[in-house]
Structure 1
Amino acid sequence: MMRSITVLAGREFASQLRSGTLILVGVVAPVLLALLFGFALGGSDTTEPSRVGVVDLDSGEFASSMQDEVLASEELSDIITLEEVGTVSEAQGAVDSGELGSAIVFTEGFTETVRAGEGGVVEVLESASNPVAAVVATSVVDQMSALVQARTLSVRTATAAGVPTSEVQEFVEANGADGPSLSLVDAAMADGAVDMSVFYASGIAALFAFLVVGTAARSLLLERRIGVLARVQASPVPGWALVFSKAIVGFAAALLSMCSTWVASVLIFDQSWGYPPAVFLLFAAHCLAATALTMLVATGARTDAQADGYVLVLSFTFGFLGGSLIPIFQLPDALQVLSRFTPNGWTANGLGSLVVSGGGVDSILLPVAVLLAISAVAAVAAGLRFRKGLLR
């Protein structure tokens, strides 16, 4: 049986190569579109640094130290610029209008409460139109929070050890906690902004995965129309073997398409998509979901031409809702919720973790698990539909 599936899959793969379908739809088209979008709208060299406001209601050393550290960081100098803002309402208005990408607010008494070992409050005002600035600001605040927690723990430890209250501050400073210091060199955002060339290339790759699998689904219906399926079913080989071989070819072609776009983007724009094994794993999970869903849609088509229409609708609907065409954060709230039900949305989520946060395989376990769950449900449904319809 495995030999029959291998032979059928090899025949399908060779047929797509001879016709040029695999090369044109799977490699040339997505790579060309990704490069065109990348050159037109991407490129970190032409991207303006994100403007981040700082509201210092504390006037203490922590806020000024944070600004000094950010301004001294060569890695962040091309990503953000800091601007002082007088009040929270002014900062919120500037963020809402898009004048500022985000803002960091140091509350009144922040330094005093930190020195007393009581922690402190720092707020980040985010703008949906500039997620990069929000990520940078949040990263800075996260590091500040770690420093504050370390300071708080030191004060509490000193107090518990019996150090007099009047001597706690001196004791803590003398033992390595004498002031705030941010180490931004190894921060997740230190490797550069999220270049728009990565966004468009990854979105197009995710979109074309469905279109590439669609060629295999179309081929299956075409072979039913011209009688190939009937001849296969009349032989010792069961009809489901032909369906399975088409799915294998569709998955392999989709994975080849996504990897081609990925490699072309990395080589031409010199932009990392994250930890390569994690990227490949995420792509494989996306292609499995695309294969199962496309084959499921194909079960409702009566002709190969009708299958083409169904696949186009499926591809572009998921592409739109899942952030392949428009960033998810720019969609209305209701559509952002719907993006959680699309493979493209979870793939974009996983790539965001890899590109923005510099995560590894562990950071994409949830997106991969959801994609595999989608694949399993769609595959079972497609198998039942094929059994009732195409393979009767």
Structure 2
Amino acid sequence: MKFIDIALKDFYQLFKDWKPLIFLVIAPILFTLMFGFMFGGFSGPGSTDQRLPVIALSEEDTQLTETILAAFSQSQVIRLEMAGTDASLESLREAVADEDYAAVLILPAGFSQQIRDNGEVTLTAILDENSTAGISIQQEIITIANRMQTAANAATEAAALYTQQAETTDNAEMDAIYDDTFAIAMQAWESPPVTTLETQTAPNGSQQSGDENAFAQSLPGMMAQFAIAGLMGAAEIIIQERKSGALDRMMGMSVRRGAVLAGHWLAMFGMIFLQFIVLVTFGQLFLRLDFLASPLVTLALSVASCAFVASLGLLIGILAKMPEQSAIFALIPMFIFSGLGGAWVPLEILGESVQKIARFTPVYWIMTGFRDILLRGAGLINIWPSILALLGFTALFLVPAVLLFNKE
């Protein structure tokens, strides 16, 4: 069959030089590692504490200070650390200046009694008000201080009620009532009546994976991006074939146009499919990505992805008249599809309008399919929308390629 001979000829031309390996294997692996570690590596973006480091210097140890420090330790903005007993205020001030800490929180001696006597909460902190971190911490301190003031008001009312009802006033007991009421009021902020609940629903018939491996985002993205980038060399073969007159000679040998197209398409498909095999194997062995948990699903999605890329490459080879144009025609869709399709960053962190536009790019469906397989253990029934979408893009690029080639 002559289309197989044409495909083998293209394969030889593609791989007789080592340079295609840069776009097909080396670059995807390097960019996968780079983007993967940027977003958290093996443990995902939620594995490290991203809160701002604040060190607390407490010069007394009372129930009130314990309650206050506990409130700061629950903050979503501040990561609280306690200063040692030998720490001086000057050394902590230098630590903020050296950016070892974003701020110092100071609870001086007599702080608890001052709150009980005055009923007002005044917090002291050392921070850089002109820095982003300093502004964020200042806002968080104000928020927590307002909650503490509400708790102090409630504790003051409770102490006043005790004074009215008690026959004799016991200062120690009144302080204990104040501290207990303050603690109860602060605990109420930890479970407010209205809360925000975030859930992630896995497709029906699939299992939610607890392993937020960041490479589940970066590897499929780089597979898709560099599959398109690798079309530059493959499309150039078609251009050189026309320029050298090889196409006319094949037509003179009664080789059908359909066989020529099929041969070039098969060569591109095979090239990208080999790339997918290498990168999937790399992810399985070295990046803890369980592609083989659903081998048939991974295979079906890979075939649909390679079919789309091969069809795009065929169209590029027919549209381009010069070798330089093949690079332009390959890089433009690569950047557009990859950027909008979520190959570089998760679409969840982008705007809603971008997420809607992304659905009209083939890379979005490649990313969605592979992420569902790797993170949610999706089966074939869950992946079929991605496969159908990619087959639709295959037809979208293949049909014009056939029509344009037959007109030449």
**1:112 counterpart residue number:** none
Deviations 1:82-110 (A, max 9, x none): x799xxxxxxxx9xxxxxxxxxx9997xx
2:218 is aligned with 1:200: yes
**1:373 counterpart residue number:** 392
**How far apart, CA to CA, are the structure 2 residues paired with 1:8 and 1:350?**
32
Aligned-partner residue type, residue 5 of structure 2:
V
**1:234 counterpart residue number:** 252
Deviations 1:121-159 (A, max 9, x none): x98544xxxxxxx42xx57xx9xxxxxxxxxxxxxxxxx
**2:234 counterpart residue number:** 216
Aligned residues of 2:43 and 2:213 also touching (Cα < 8 A): no
In the TM superposition, residue 334 of structure 1 has moved relative to its aligned partner by: 2.4
**1:28 counterpart residue number:** 26
**How far apart, CA to CA, are the structure 2 residues paired with 1:296 and 1:123?**
52
**How far apart, CA to CA, are the structure 1 residues paired with 2:195 and 2:366?**
30
Match of 2:2 among 1, 4, 7: 4
Aligned-partner residue type, residue 6 of structure 2:
L
**How far apart, CA to CA, are the structure 2 residues paired with 1:362 and 1:187?**
9
* Identity among equivalent pairs (%): 25
Q: 5 Å matches for 1:330-341?
A: 330-341=349-360
Deviations 1:333-384 (A, max 9, x none): 2222121111110111112222222211111011101111221232112111
Match of 1:329 among 344, 348, 352: 348
**2:170 counterpart residue number:** none
Other structure's SS at 2:348 match: helix
In the TM superposition, residue 262 of structure 1 has moved relative to its aligned partner by: 1.8
Query: Normalization by structure 2: what TM-score?
Result: 0.59
**1:361 counterpart residue number:** 380
Aligned residues of 1:31 and 1:260 also touching (Cα < 8 A): no
Aligned residues of 2:43 and 2:212 also touching (Cα < 8 A): no
**How far apart, CA to CA, are the structure 1 residues paired with 2:41 and 2:32?**
12
In the TM superposition, residue 200 of structure 1 has moved relative to its aligned partner by: 0.8
Aligned residues of 1:217 and 1:307 also touching (Cα < 8 A): yes
Other structure's SS at 1:282 match: helix
Aligned-partner residue type, residue 11 of structure 2:
F
Q: Give the CA RMSD over aligned residues.
A: 3.2
Aligned residues of 1:290 and 1:343 also touching (Cα < 8 A): no
Match of 1:348 among 346, 359, 367: 367
2:311 is aligned with 1:292: yes
Deviations 1:260-300 (A, max 9, x none): 11211221122324522212211111111122123223332
Classify 1:106/1:215 alpha carbon distance in 2 versus 1 (closer, same or farther; 3 Å): farther
Aligned residues of 2:239 and 2:318 also touching (Cα < 8 A): no
Aligned residues of 1:206 and 1:258 also touching (Cα < 8 A): no
Which blocks of at least 5 consecutive residues in structure 1 are unaligned? Answer: 52-82, 86-93, 95-104, 109-121, 127-133, 143-185
Aligned residues of 1:4 and 1:237 also touching (Cα < 8 A): yes
In the TM superposition, residue 50 of structure 1 has moved relative to its aligned partner by: 8.7
Match of 2:405 among 379, 386, 392: 386
Other structure's SS at 2:319 match: coil
Aligned residues of 2:241 and 2:247 also touching (Cα < 8 A): yes
Q: Which structure's CA Rg is the greater one?
A: 2
In the TM superposition, residue 205 of structure 1 has moved relative to its aligned partner by: 0.3
2:14 is aligned with 1:16: yes
Aligned residues of 1:31 and 1:261 also touching (Cα < 8 A): yes
Aligned residues of 1:34 and 1:261 also touching (Cα < 8 A): no
Aligned residues of 2:229 and 2:334 also touching (Cα < 8 A): yes
**How far apart, CA to CA, are the structure 2 residues paired with 1:50 and 1:42?**
8
Other structure's SS at 1:356 match: helix
Aligned residues of 2:257 and 2:406 also touching (Cα < 8 A): no
**How far apart, CA to CA, are the structure 1 residues paired with 2:242 and 2:294?**
43
**How far apart, CA to CA, are the structure 1 residues paired with 2:44 and 2:358?**
30
Aligned-partner residue type, residue 31 of structure 2:
L
Aligned-partner residue type, residue 329 of structure 1:
E
Classify 1:375/1:47 alpha carbon distance in 2 versus 1 (closer, same or farther; 3 Å): closer
Which blocks of at least 5 consecutive residues in structure 2 are unaligned? Answer: 50-73, 77-139, 141-189
Q: 5 Å matches for 1:102-181?
A: 125-126=197-198, 134-135=199-200
Aligned-partner residue type, residue 20 of structure 1:
W
**How far apart, CA to CA, are the structure 2 residues paired with 1:299 and 1:247?**
12
**1:43 counterpart residue number:** 41
**How far apart, CA to CA, are the structure 2 residues paired with 1:123 and 1:262?**
41
Classify 1:253/1:198 alpha carbon distance in 2 versus 1 (closer, same or farther; 3 Å): same
Other structure's SS at 2:376 match: coil
Deviations 1:52-81 (A, max 9, x none): xxxxxxxxxxxxxxxxxxxxxxxxxxxxxx
Classify 1:366/1:46 alpha carbon distance in 2 versus 1 (closer, same or farther; 3 Å): closer
Aligned-partner residue type, residue 370 of structure 2:
L
Aligned residues: 271
Aligned residues of 1:22 and 1:253 also touching (Cα < 8 A): no
